[in-house]
Amino acid sequence: MFEETLALAKKGNDQAIERLLVPYLPALTAFVRLRLNPRVAKRESPADIVQSVCREVISDLATVRATDEDGFRAWLFSVTFNKVRNKHEFHHADKRNVGKDLSGSFDFGVGEEVLLSSYGRAATPSQDAAASEEIERIEAAFAKLPTDYRDVLLHVGIAGLSYAEAGRLLEKTEDSVRQLVHRARARLATLLD
């Protein structure tokens, strides 16, 4: 089924492209929101970054060598990780105008309930305010984590990659990723308490 969908998507079939990407939009949005540092988040909307990732993925579908959904997910989140890293580098270059910040609230492209569920929580529509507060609380705690903790939680927890896949993308061993995930989850739980 996946191989057929990917083959159709590579031929430009819109429905196949949609079947490939739409299920990942909440996790991609969560990944980007949690990976962006506050300085870059003032200049770049996570929704715009996710949209840019999707455009790049669609244009590069011919290069995908994944034979299953896990391989595709690893490739997709690798593209996303690189896109966010490039945004950080771009906005931290000395020549950038630091006065050009986005203001106000962003349209992240996914509802807060869906986004919250990507963070491992669930909320009903009647809990909109609580969901928004919970998202802010999780993002604030996440921002306090060291970079290596954030990276492994993003790849394993949000992107759903295996320890081995995350290790390849982060240039770490599978065992070190496993240990970092354990420590990161414990630290995040402490920060959330």
> Whose CA is closest to 131, among 26, 61, 50?
26
DSSP 153-186: IIIIIIS---HHHHHHHHT--HHHHHHHHHHHHH
What's residue 102's pLDDT? Answer: 44
Q: Say how far apart CA 19 and CA 25 lie, in whole Å.
A: 11
> So what's the pLDDT on residue 110?
55
User: Per the structure block, which two tokens stand in for 190?
Assistant: 């402490």
Residue 106, pLDDT score: 42
Phi, psi of 104 (to 5 degrees): 80, -170
Give CATH 1.10.1740.10 domain extents, the chain.
1-110
The CATH 1.10.10.10 portion of the chain extends over 144-193
For the domain bounded by 1-110, which CATH number is listed? 1.10.1740.10
Q: Consecutive 10-residue runs of the chain (193 residues): their mean pLDDT?
A: 90 92 91 82 84 92 89 91 83 53 45 58 53 82 92 91 92 95 93 88
What's the burial of 138, exposed, middle or buried (CB within 10 Å: 0-12/13-18/19+)? buried
The pLDDT assigned to 90 comes to 77
Q: What pLDDT does 75 receive?
A: 92
- Exposure string of 63-81, with b = 16+ CB inside 10 Å and e = fewer, is ebeeeebeebbbbbbbbbb
Q: Which CATH number fits domain 144-193: 2.30.42.10, 1.10.10.10, 3.30.2350.10, 3.40.50.720?
A: 1.10.10.10
